[in-house]
Amino acid sequence: MAGFAATQLPSLTWILSTKTSLPCLLFPRKNPNPKPSTTIKRFLSSSSRSKLPQTPLKSSLITNTAEISERASTLREICEGHVPDHVLQRRCRLAEEVGFVLPTDVQRQSLPTLLSGRDCILHAQTGSGKTLAYLLLIFSVINVQRSAVQALIVVPTRELGMQVTKVARMLAAKPMEHEVEQKTCTVMALLDGGTLRRHKSWLKAEPPTIVVATIGSLCQMLEKQIFKLEAMRVLVIDEVDFMFRSSKHASSLRKLLTSYSSINDHQTVFASASIPQHRHFLYDCIQQKWTKSDVVHVHVNPVQPMPSRIHHRFAICSKNERHQTLLSLLQSDAPKSGIIFVGEQSEKSKKAGNAPSTTRTIEFLKTSYGECLEILLLEEDMNFNSRAASLSEVRQGGGYLLVATDIAARGVDLPETTHIYNFDLPRTAVDYLHRAGRTGRKPFSDLKCTVTNIIMSEERFALQRFENELMFDCEELSL
């Protein structure tokens, strides 16, 4: 794609301001949920009052109790006539096994809009089922008889890519009775750390219908013109705020969006649980033509970004006592499965030849924690095979304790996780939200899940700031 390499865009207000507070701060903390009509009006009037330049915004906002699809009560009813029967059947068979009958809020609110062909910003809590929403859209538009890539899902990490690919392949698999048909939907995982030579041959010989890609690998294919955007119908950018926040990803992403915007008959979906400054983002999307002007912002739980069934706690100790405190917490909680988040090692500490905090924590737990749980490591610096091995061991069932850096904080779906421990506090409220969101991932479950912060007294202030921004309360534990 010649356009891909050539296009340059000015930097955007939204991208510059993503590190500021969350959109929920626009609403007073103890306010009850506004009625949908009020919220829509407030959005429109505040848009017109705001300093944003005036463009003919046709975009709209859908919030919690949106009237759309109120009558449709099951996923099948919402998708019938759009999504091929074998995909819905697949869902139903799964439904019988694990209860995927009812749509989650974000699916109920977004699917009618997505299936009508409009661009969409899926802005809903962690673990709310955004992946299935955009995958059902993709299955509604692809034509497996065409030999071309028709849908592209861009993700920030290999781990998230592997997970999305797995769900897409599961939906694409046809039941036995359909196997007489010649063509099936194929899903390629074009992810960092994969063997690009093999993908190159695959793309040239028989393009897959759906590609799930990390931006680095995708750009290599686009630049060599092995991957063409021409036949694309849907582009999804998952964890969009993270992608734009990363200096490694942002400019490639802008180029991709600009190239894609010149294609006829295309649809764009952005997804994340956190879209700071979302009105700016919406505005920029329209201005840059990354979306059509009637893009819909589906904002589920706008006043409560944190899933309510997550219970938050903190324990204060001195720096030297942190491992011991973690151990005491684990012994009293006895979690079946949990994730311990540890901060990235600083460059200074690397240069000084210190062992990373992750390694020290894992060694400590292996020698002192008696429970027979798998204790595994997941961090950026590991090679891709070790990372994959850790995650697949975790997924095999039986309990686990995963010691991880923030690489595990975005999108990774380990529904059995009941306990999160912040051994080191995250840097921002957005990071806190995504770490906490690795638990509480069974949409219709009442299971209580906890996030426990191990802090030093001087960090109480930072944690309080997260509480205010994300609107949750944290209970102090006395140890």
Ligand X SMILES: Nc1ncnc2c1ncn2[C@@H]1O[C@H](COP(=O)(O)OP(=O)(O)OP(=O)(O)O)[C@@H](O)[C@H]1O
**Looking at beta carbons only, is 166 or 228 nearer to ligand X?**
166
**Looking at beta carbons only, is 16 or 102 nearer to ligand X?**
102
Helices marked H in 272-416: 278-287, 322-333, 347-351, 357-368, 384-395
Min dist CB 351 to ligand X, Å, is 34
3-state helix, strand, coil in the chain (%, to 5): 45, 15, 40
Please work out, in degrees rounded to the nearest 5, the angle formed at the alpha carbon of residue 420 by the alpha carbons of 314 and 362: 105
Amino acid occupying residue 166:
K
Alpha carbon separation from 395 to 406, 413, 414, 420 (Å, rounded): 19, 10, 7, 17
Residue 440 touches ligand X, criterion: CB under 6 A: no
Min dist CB 87 to ligand X, Å, is 14
Q: Which of 18, 39, 110, 128 binds ligand X (CB under 6 A)?
A: 128
Residue 437 touches ligand X, criterion: CB under 6 A: yes
Q: Which of 39, 113, 131, 140 binds ligand X (CB under 6 A)?
A: 131
Considering all CA atoms of the chain, what is the largest pairwise distance in Å, rounded to the nearest integer?
66
**Looking at beta carbons only, is 23 or 356 nearer to ligand X?**
23
Rounded to 10°, the helix 158-172/384-395 angle is 50
Of 341, 313, 354, 324, the residue nearest 478 (C-alpha): 313
Contact stretch for ligand X (CB under 6 A) within 80-88, 94-102, 300-308, 313-321: 94-102
Min dist CB 260 to ligand X, Å, is 22
CB atoms within 10 A of CB 457: 9
Q: Which of 130, 255, 266, 278 binds ligand X (CB under 6 A)?
A: 130
DSSP string of 156-196, one letter each residue = SSHHHHHHHHHHHHHHHPPPGGGTTSS----EEEE-TTS-H
Residue 103 touches ligand X, criterion: CB under 6 A: yes
Q: 179 burial class (0-12, 13-18, 19+ CB within 10 angstroms)?
A: exposed
Min dist CB 313 to ligand X, Å, is 21
Contact stretch for ligand X (CB under 6 A) within 123-131, 245-253, 303-311, 341-349: 123-131
Min dist CB 208 to ligand X, Å, is 21
Residue 132 touches ligand X, criterion: CB under 6 A: yes
Min dist CB 428 to ligand X, Å, is 16
Contact present, 419 and 337 (Cβ < 8 Å): yes
Contact present, 271 and 236 (Cβ < 8 Å): yes
**Looking at beta carbons only, is 266 or 438 nearer to ligand X?**
438
List the interface residues with ligand X, window 393-422 (CB under 6 A). 411, 413, 415
Residue 273 touches ligand X, criterion: CB under 6 A: yes
**Looking at beta carbons only, is 128 or 209 nearer to ligand X?**
128
Size of the site for ligand X (CB under 6 A): 22
Residue 100 touches ligand X, criterion: CB under 6 A: yes
Contact residues for ligand X, defined by CB under 6 A: 99-100, 102-104, 107, 124, 126-132, 273, 411, 413, 415, 437, 441, 443-444
